[in-house]
Amino acid sequence: MNFKHLGLIDPILQALSDKSYTDPTPIQIQAIPVVLEGKDLLGIAQTGTGKTAAFAIPIIQRLENDKHVNRNRKIRSLVITPTRELAIQIHENFKAYSKHTDLKSNVIFGGVKQGSQVNRLKAGTDILVATPGRLLDLMNQKLVSIQNIEYFVLDEADRMLDMGFIHDIKKIIQQLPIERQTLFFSATMPENIVELSRKILKNPVRVEVSPVSTAAETVQQFICHTNKDLKKELLVHLIKERNIKQVLIFERTKHGADKIARFLIKQKIKAAAIHGDKAQNHRQKVLDQFKNGELTALVATDIAARGIDIDRLQYVINLDIPNISETYVHRIGRVGRAGETGTAISIAEPEEKGFLKDIEKLINKKIEVLEGHPFPQTDKVMTKEEKKAFEAEKQRRKKEFFENRKKSGNFRR
């Protein structure tokens, strides 16, 4: 099946052709007809499955077919998403898919001054993508009205709850018109998410794809064994030997991400780090530079990487093996998105073998070992101090993970 078989209008088909998109992903095949029919939707899907297009494309089509209704450019479609990066990415997708229509979309998020965002809204918009805090703030100032919303999307619902946005979401929902079409997306369905979905959806059609326990079949996965003190050198070797033009590198800590970025720059590799301590304008500038090909390497922590969606990204390198197996799956999901191919390489030290076994058990696959590199693993073991620090960090990360699970209502130990 291709997009032409989904009953899409010519302006959208032309926009998809401009991006060289021909075949829809499974969630797009399931969701687009449902949304075009005007039904509520419960979508269970993680990032990388093509879910943004699954709701953006049919919303654009319905708005375009009814554009005479909106002469005054009142906001008719609202998308709520948890992070600034995701909001910007979704907005960019709406702009791309609607480029051959006269629809206008805008994005608002916190962490920056509101002036320029408000000015763009005053010029009129059909589609608004927003993070909860900034939207509520502007609503309270009477600068944004959601009284005319016809299409409401709640994206990454489980992450919303994990990040403490549940009260903001409920306040926003109370201000929405009762008569609307609602699309609800979540990667997992703990009880509190099920309860929320029941409150805001009316006879929804349920679609489900790609559970978190599966790694994309289009991603080639490799493991390199070395020692802790040789990881940086092996990283540089991989980038240069494979002539990698663009790579997302995962590092466990903010300090470590900065350190790796500085090391790469010294090795004549254009790099930058992105993490929670960086200012929002800096994070967006770095992300734009990476997307535009001005940087070869973007070094990110897991939190900062949420929402990063780079078209046709070919490489992800894990500079550490995460002790939570699901984290590995989310990391490598940054490549192999929407049917594209990609490569994920993990650099492991001896003490991370246990984490590797857990990951292989989760994905039900033995990860291929890359042999013959110039930094092979030796029998060197950690000192007592290094071992103690490693175990303490491992326990801290496990405790943090299970506490977050418990808060989200998806606690299973």
The predicted pLDDT at position 383 comes to: 65
166-175 and 191-200 helices, crossing angle to 10°: 10
Burial of residue 271 (CB within 10 Å: 0-12, 13-18, 19+) is buried
Spatial distance between the Cα atoms of 373 and 409, rounded to a whole number of angstroms? 44
Matching fold, domains 3-208 and 219-390? yes
Condensed to tens digits (0 to 9), the pLDDT of residues 11-20 reads 999 999 998 8
Spatial distance between the Cα atoms of 7 and 339, rounded to a whole number of angstroms? 21
The predicted pLDDT at position 120 comes to: 92
pLDDT above 70: residue 24 = yes
The lowest-confidence range among 114-123, 161-170, 393-402 is 393-402
Spatial distance between the Cα atoms of 254 and 274, rounded to a whole number of angstroms? 8
The mean pLDDT value for 340-366 works out to 88
The predicted pLDDT at position 402 comes to: 64
Mean per-residue pLDDT over the chain, rounded = 86
pLDDT above 70: residue 382 = no
The predicted pLDDT at position 338 comes to: 59
- Which two structure tokens, joined as six digits, stand for 164? 């403490």
In the structure, what pLDDT confidence band is assigned to residue 408 with cuts at 50, 70 and 90?
A: low
Domain covering 3-208 in this structure, CATH number? 3.40.50.300
In the structure, what pLDDT confidence band is assigned to residue 33 with cuts at 50, 70 and 90?
A: very high
Q: Is residue 118 within 8 Å of residue 143, measured between CB atoms?
A: yes
Tell me the pairing of strands 127-130 and 271-274: unpaired
- Which two structure tokens, joined as six digits, stand for 73? 């450019």
Of the candidates 310, 245, 292, 298, which has an alpha carbon nearest to the alpha carbon of residue 93?
A: 310
Q: Is residue 377 within 8 Å of residue 225, measured between CB atoms?
A: yes
Of the candidates 62, 40, 66, 65, which has an alpha carbon nearest to the alpha carbon of residue 154?
A: 40
Spatial distance between the Cα atoms of 284 and 279, rounded to a whole number of angstroms? 9
The predicted pLDDT at position 291 comes to: 87
The pTM is what?
0.63
Condensed to tens digits (0 to 9), the pLDDT of residues 88-122 reads 889 999 999 999 999 999 999 988 899 999 999 99
- For the chain, what is the HEC assignment? CCHHHHCCCHHHHHHHHHCCCCCCCHHHHHHHHHHHCCCCEEEECCCCCCHHHHHHHHHHHHHHHCHHHHCCCCCCEEEECCCHHHHHHHHHHHHHHCCCCCCCEEEECCCCCCHHHHHHHHCCCCEEEECHHHHHHHHHCCCCCCCCCCEEEECCHHHHHHCCCHHHHHHHHHHCCCCCEEEEEECCCCHHHHHHHHHHCCCCEEEECCCCCCCCCCEEEEEEECCHHHHHHHHHHHHHHCCCCCEEEECCCHHHHHHHHHHHHHCCCCEEEECCCCCHHHHHHHHHHHHCCCCCEEEECHHHHCCCCCCCCCEEEECCCCCCHHHHHHHHCCCCHHHCCEEEEEEECHHHHHHHHHHHHHHCCCCEECCCCCCCCCCCCCCHHHHHHHHHHHHHHHHHHHHHHHHHCCCCC
In the structure, what pLDDT confidence band is assigned to residue 79 with cuts at 50, 70 and 90?
A: very high
The predicted pLDDT at position 412 comes to: 43
The mean pLDDT value for 340-346 works out to 88
Condensed to tens digits (0 to 9), the pLDDT of residues 278-329 reads 777 788 889 889 988 999 999 998 766 665 677 778 999 999 998 877 788 8
What backbone phi and psi angles, to 5 degrees, belong to 227?
Answer: -105, 160
Torsion angle of the four alpha carbons 342, 347, 352, 356, in this order, in degrees rounded to the nearest 10: 20
pLDDT above 90: residue 192 = no
Of the candidates 83, 18, 82, 31, which has an alpha carbon nearest to the alpha carbon of residue 57?
A: 31
- Parse the chain into domains and list their residue ranges: 3-208, 219-390
In the structure, what pLDDT confidence band is assigned to residue 411 with cuts at 50, 70 and 90?
A: very low
Rg (CA), the chain: 22
Spatial distance between the Cα atoms of 181 and 162, rounded to a whole number of angstroms? 25
pLDDT above 50: residue 413 = no
Condensed to tens digits (0 to 9), the pLDDT of residues 223-280 reads 999 999 999 999 999 999 999 999 999 998 889 999 999 999 999 999 999 887 777 7
Spatial distance between the Cα atoms of 28 and 383, rounded to a whole number of angstroms? 52
Percent of the chain with pLDDT over 90: 52
The predicted pLDDT at position 313 comes to: 87
Spatial distance between the Cα atoms of 28 and 286, rounded to a whole number of angstroms? 30
Pick the CATH number of 219-390 from 3.10.20.90, 3.40.50.300, 3.40.50.720, 3.30.1540.10: 3.40.50.300
Spatial distance between the Cα atoms of 184 and 170, rounded to a whole number of angstroms? 14
Spatial distance between the Cα atoms of 358 and 326, rounded to a whole number of angstroms? 10
The mean pLDDT value for 152-181 works out to 90
Of the candidates 64, 66, 92, which has an alpha carbon nearest to the alpha carbon of residue 79?
A: 92
